[in-house]
Amino acid sequence: MFKEYYNVIGVMSGTSLDGVDLACIKFNISERWTFEICQTETISYPENWQDKLNNAIHFTTDELNELNLEYTRYLASIISEFIIKHKLSEIDAICSHGHTILHQPQNGFTLQIGNLPLLGELLNCKIVCDFRVQDVQLGGQGAPLVPIGDEILFSEYDYCLNLGGFSNVSFKEKDKRIAFDISPVNTVLNYYANELGFPYDDAGNIAKSGSVDLDLLKQLNEIDYYKAAYPKSLGMEFVNQTIFPLLHSFSIDNKDKMRTFVEHIAIQIAAVCIKPNAKLFVTGGGVYNRFLMQRLQLHLSAIDVVIPDDKTIQFKEALIFALLGVLKLRDEVNVLSSVTGAKVNHSSGTIYNELL
């Protein structure tokens, strides 16, 4: 007999390198799933860790193994401090995504560091982690994983959109949940903000001061990925091999590149969210980019754009990975084949310290 109440910690680190998101979540599973986002915190990466995680895509196997060990220790210390600081007790599990370094589903490979058994040893708590590997082994993209949460927790919305390192969307089509990555977002905008000496583009003001380069915009919109059928997903490989070479080939100001890319993001999202009078639920750090949201709402004039409370905006992914962990503990489906392209729906993830 499964429990009706779970007290878990969701842990997420995204490709935008904003930091590690931690959220204590209470789930109630009686007639339907309900949740409460309790204590939350984002631990920003210090500069040395940003550099390591940015450059890790070029590491050798031995260097990656060492980084994985080092990052697992670092992640354990962050989680431990979060538990102590907020005086958390009776934790059923820590559900951790880790940090994606390599994502090559076409080659049958994905790597999220921080998911070693050492995490369970250091925290002496039940751990559920490494959610993507099994899906790739089953022929799936290993992403996106959030849509099962949209299905269970946010089904009243026609579209669920996340604006983070990448934009991704989930929606129902012919009674099946469909989801895929749409385009890069903060992975590109943050890069150019960094070039200008800023950690990010506050409220989108830098991009707003630029001008759209119509030739660049046209070439961005013609990239093959956007014409490809789903399931499909994006990683930093796409940004480094396709997006940056194109952007770097244009001798225009960075603010103009950012302005053009904001328009590109809005156009690509609008090309996907086409149901008239639909409700679009938007979360992720990109929501705070006011200029991006203005451009998005302009391109989605027939759609009701719904922005939730700050905790949900900032910690939805940590919430969903907490949910994935609970589903894994219950041996219930937490990855949808209609979303990832895997052979079957399945319950993915690794459990450490299962008997605790």
Q: Which two tokens stand for residue 328?
A: 């894994």
Query: Are 51 and 181 in a shared domain?
Result: no
SS3 293: helix
Residue 255, pLDDT score: 98
Q: Which two tokens stand for residue 250?
A: 């244009």
Residue 162, pLDDT score: 93
How many domains are contained in the chain?
A: 2
pLDDT tens track of the chain, all 356 residues? 578 999 999 999 988 788 999 999 999 998 899 999 999 999 999 999 999 999 999 999 999 999 999 999 999 999 999 999 999 999 999 999 999 999 889 899 999 999 999 999 999 999 999 999 999 999 999 988 999 999 999 999 999 999 999 999 999 998 899 999 999 999 999 999 999 999 999 999 999 999 999 999 999 999 999 999 988 888 889 999 999 999 999 999 999 999 999 999 999 999 999 998 999 999 999 999 999 999 999 999 999 999 999 999 999 999 999 999 999 999 999 999 999 999 999 999 999 998 88
159-163: strand order across its sheet: 176-184, 166-173, 159-163, 279-283, 304-306
State which residues form the domain around 107. Answer: 5-142+344-352
What are the tens digits of pLDDT across the range 297-329?
999 999 999 999 999 999 999 999 999 999 999
Determine the Cα–Cα distance for residues 46 and 196; give it in Å rounded to an integer: 19
CB-neighbour burial class of residue 132 (10 A; exposed 0-12, middle 13-18, buried 19+): buried
Could you give the angle at the alpha carbon of 26 between the alpha carbons of 171 and 20, nearest 5°?
75
Query: Are 138 and 181 in a shared domain?
Result: no
SS3 228: coil
What are the tens digits of pLDDT across the range 202-241?
999 999 999 999 999 999 999 999 999 988 888 889 999 9
Residue 233, pLDDT score: 85
Q: Please state whether 124 falls in left (phi above 0), alpha (psi between -120 and 50) or beta.
A: left
Residue 1, pLDDT score: 59
Query: Are 93 and 168 in a shared domain?
Result: no
Single pTM value for the model: 0.87
CA 273 to chain CA centroid, Å, is 19
Residue 15, pLDDT score: 80
Bridge partners (DSSP) of residue 283 are 162
Counting every residue written for the chain, the total comes to: 356
Q: Which amino acid is at 203?
A: A
- Of 83, 156, 159, 73, which Cα lies nearest the Cα of 121? 73
Query: Are 196 and 219 in a shared domain?
Result: yes
Determine the Cα–Cα distance for residues 8 and 127; give it in Å rounded to an integer: 10
Query: Are 118 and 154 in a shared domain?
Result: no
Determine the Cα–Cα distance for residues 128 and 25; give it in Å rounded to an integer: 14
Query: Are 107 and 151 in a shared domain?
Result: no
Residue 230, pLDDT score: 87
Q: Is residue 264 part of a domain?
A: yes
Query: Are 157 and 295 in a shared domain?
Result: yes
Q: Is residue 337 part of a domain?
A: no
Query: Are 200 and 219 in a shared domain?
Result: yes
Query: Are 300 and 165 in a shared domain?
Result: yes
Q: Is residue 322 part of a domain?
A: no
Determine the Cα–Cα distance for residues 333 and 346; give it in Å rounded to an integer: 5
Ordered alpha helix ranges (H), the chain = 47-55, 61-85, 118-123, 133-137, 147-153, 186-195, 205-208, 214-221, 236-238, 244-248, 254-272, 290-299, 310-329, 337-340
